[in-house]
Amino acid sequence: MPSYKLTYFDGRGRGELIRLCLAYAGQEFEDCRIEQAAWPELKKGMMPPYMPALLVDGNVSLHETCLVAQYVAQKYGFGGDSDEDKMIISSYTFFIESLFTKAITAFFEKDEEKKKQMQTEFGEKTMPDALAKFEECAAKNAAGVLHGSGITQADIHFYNTCWTLMQQAPTLLDGTPKLKALFEKVSTEPKIAQWVANRPSTKF
């Protein structure tokens, strides 16, 4: 059985998708959470020099949130069946990551006027448009997921991103019943529910 060590800051952030995928896969892993002050020195020994980083068997270091999630999902059978399915699921995952990036970029913007504009654009245009597209995907799929016959890393990333946004906007999915059902489907999956119930409580 392979060993896994995930290194990231002490928060959900970009590391949580990978944690959730490993949990869904039923894989134990070392959840190494570092302080910001330790990062400048730590990254000197990383290639590429960014996190999250998944160390496999103590000697292979994998980077890039969506690619690592794809690796875990495909290795453990929930990343799609055909090559085409895998590509579609990965493209959805990267699209959701772009939404996540826009949300956190707006949140951490220091210029208050610019921050307000960015949050308005995201809340009134970017996210509603994306939800409408994903609602169509879920509506066309008999399994009630974004693509394929069961939960994939794209569905998990959708859940994770919406979970974060819903801490401030709890009615986010009220206008998209298929996506609301998808959110519940993922959140009640036993291994994911167990991880979420026991994970460290962090602000981000």
Give the pLDDT band (50/70/90) at residue 11: very high
CA distance 95 to 107: 19
pLDDT at position 176 is 98
pLDDT at 148 over 90: yes
Q: Indicate the burial class of 146 (C-beta count within 10 angstroms; 0-12, 13-18, 19 or more).
A: buried
**Average pLDDT score over the chain:** 97
CA distance 155 to 67: 15
Give the pLDDT band (50/70/90) at residue 20: very high
pLDDT at position 203 is 86
CA distance 178 to 180: 5
Task: State the average pLDDT over residues 89-99.
Answer: 98
Beta strands in the chain (DSSP E): 4-9, 30-34, 53-56, 60-63
What single-letter amino acid sits at 83?
D
Give the pLDDT band (50/70/90) at residue 143: very high
Question: How much of the chain, in percent, has pLDDT values that exceed 90?
Answer: 98
pTM attached to this predicted model: 0.96
pLDDT at 25 over 90: yes
Task: State the average pLDDT over residues 43-57.
Answer: 96
Task: State the average pLDDT over residues 157-165.
Answer: 98
Task: State the average pLDDT over residues 1-14.
Answer: 96
